[in-house]
Amino acid sequence: MGKGGHAGAPPALSFTEKGGRQPTDELPFTIGTLRRAIPPHCFERSVWKSSAYLAVDLAVVALLYWGSTFIDDFPLAARCLLWPAYWFFQGAVCTGVWVIAHECGHQSFSRWQSVNDAVGLVMHTALLVPYYSWKHSHRRHHSNTGSAEKDEVFVPTVKEQADGSDFYRSFGPYRALELFVCLFAGWPLYLVTNMSGREYPRWANHFDPYSPIYSRRERSEILVSDCALGLAFSALFSLAKAFGWMWLAKVYIVPYLIVNMWLVMITLLQHTHPSLPHYSDKEWEWLRGALSTVDRSYGFLDVVFHHIADTHVCHHLFSTMPHYHAQEASKAIIPILGKYYAKDNRNVWRALWEDWDACHYVAPDTPGSGIFWFRR
């Protein structure tokens, strides 16, 4: 079933827009079908084009920092507006840098692994991310998306049947507190404790080369990430000594927290939706799992975030595709995906509030089924 067979096909209406569930029957297409529908140039990786996007991001980061050096010259009322504006935009642009470094981990920045890893290591380390550690665990997330047993991030608790025991999480103030902790502390907690990740037979974290997350051949690269982060923390400490901790907090730490917020929110919302299934080992297969994600739009920030959120379904299907081809590729495959394509047009903040309440754990519709649905 090639692209030509879908010429003139009407745009697919996502099941999420109709309030239904993603179908779990046998898929009428293969990954090969989808790949053939995409123009071949979409799979081409250009180090020059990727570098240009990164250079623009870094130039904006530098420009925003330069502008921040004048903020304290303004009256207090103006400073109370200008600093939050700086934090918001600097955090958003640095999230774009994060996304490009994430593409390095997928080998979609260039054709050369050495270039990908060098750029990814520098950019992720600058944002206090252990590049190789996260690269390997994230690859396993892409290999096991939608698996209730082997996925690596935002893996829900599985119950044999819905029991309503988490009713307290629907209490507004409690939900707000959980979301605050999740958004601003969730990323470091995931790195240190593997919170929200899959269960391992012993403690798992992203800094221990002997963590059960990693294979023996990956241990040396985990050490490289640890050493790089040690240098980054040393540099930040030196800057704080030279310019003061308040300076460091205003120009780096608060934007860093904003980056963490966007990272957690994007990842959470791409894989948490009442209409998306999770699968047991007996039901899971890679393509069904890869489709258990949803596209969402962040408005004008889609451009800043290099379309990681509004083309996330395509990203899970073809993770080595550069971000600058993802929109074109998405348009090519959506008519084929049809009712299996998930898109949510709600405002993302509304979706975050509602889906956190609706998605407490997963349970099967009938006992013994290997297909699980979110419950509250």
Average pLDDT, the chain: 93
Q: How far apart are CA 43 and CA 321, in angstroms?
A: 5
Task: Print burial letters for 33-58: b (CB count within 10 Å at least 16), e (below 16).
Answer: bbbebbeeebeebeeeebeebbeebb
123, 305, 258, 88 alpha-carbon torsion, rounded to 10° = 120
Q: Is pLDDT of 87 > 60?
A: yes
Q: Rounded to 5 degrees, what are φ and ψ at 344?
A: -120, 120
Put simply, whether the predicted model's pTM sits higher than 0.85 gets the answer yes
Indicate whether 181 pLDDT > 70: yes
Q: Which amino acid is at 37?
A: A
Q: What is the mean pLDDT of residues 200-204?
A: 93
pLDDT grade for 227, boundaries at 50, 70 and 90: very high
Nearest Cα neighbor of 100 from 136, 133, 131, 64 is 131
Distance CA 243, CA 41 (A): 48
Q: What percent of the chain has pLDDT over 90?
A: 90
* pLDDT exceeds 70 at position 3: no
Single out the residue of 80, 265, 300 nearest to residue 154, CA to CA.
265
Q: What is the pLDDT of residues 114-164, one digit of tens each?
A: 999 999 999 999 999 999 999 999 999 999 999 999 999 999 999 988 887
pLDDT for res 16: 58
